[in-house]
Structure 1
Amino acid sequence: MDDLHLLGAIAVLGLTCYAMRVGGYVLATSLRDDGFVARFLRLAPGNLFIAFIVAGCLSGGLPGLIGTLVALVTMAFTAREWAALGAGFGAALATAALGTS
């Protein structure tokens, strides 16, 4: 593929991306604020975050799962992010160290 074709492909992809963003903005401004779709879209970021977190925790095996549970429990009791992160990482590290020996 020569440079001209490559630049053409990049330009087409850029225009397509821009058109999709503008179309999404136009569509979003035409929605009612109290409709079903608006409520669903307000929930979507949290749902996506949970989906990514669950996939990451499950791919970590038993240490990832135990670290996540310890972090959740620590966060529920202390309401301190750094304490939950430290406890979760520590539990995952301890579980991994115990499982490999």
Structure 2
Amino acid sequence: MHDLQVLDLQVLGVICVLGVTCYAMRAGGYVLAASMREDGIAARFLRLAPGNLFIAFIVGGCLSGGLAGLVGTAVAIATMAITSKEWAALGAGFGAALAASAIGL
């Protein structure tokens, strides 16, 4: 029983260290962002980052999903271009990928 208590304390310690580290990184990011000029190159890059990260994460999934994934992606892009609504594009894309997968694409 004593070993289990030591293990529990170690796990709790690791969780606390990770929590403090996460908080410190977030706080540091806010401090750094607040000190940047709004018209600087770093600020312009960071405004583009969400789109770049989205593309980087999505491309792998789209390509590994085969033809059904590509159909879903194309439908999502078309829906987003027409409606400008993220949730409509996501729903249409997932629905198209599901339908394409169900018919064997």
TM-score by length of 1: 0.73
Unaligned residue ranges in structure 1 (runs of 5+): none
Within the candidate set 19, 26, 40, 2:31 is matched to 26
Any residues of structure 2 matched to 1:1-101 within 5 Å, and which?
A: 2-76=7-81, 78-79=82-83, 82=88, 85-86=91-92, 89-90=95-96, 93-94=99-100, 97-99=103-105
1: distance between equivalents of 2:62 and 2:24? 36
Task: Compute the displacement of 1:9 (Å).
Answer: 1.2
Amino acid aligned to 1:24: G
1: distance between equivalents of 2:83 and 2:26? 37
TM-score by length of 2: 0.71
2: distance between equivalents of 1:19 and 1:40? 23
Q: Percent identity?
A: 62
Q: CA RMSD in A?
A: 2.7
Query: What are the Cα deviations for residues 32-74 of structure 1, in whole angstroms up to 9, with x where unaligned?
Result: 0000000000111111112222222111101211232244345
Name the residue aligned to 2:3. none
Structure 1 residues 17, 40: closer, same or farther in 2, change over 3 A? same
Unaligned residue ranges in structure 2 (runs of 5+): 1-5
Task: Compute the displacement of 1:79 (Å).
Answer: 2.9
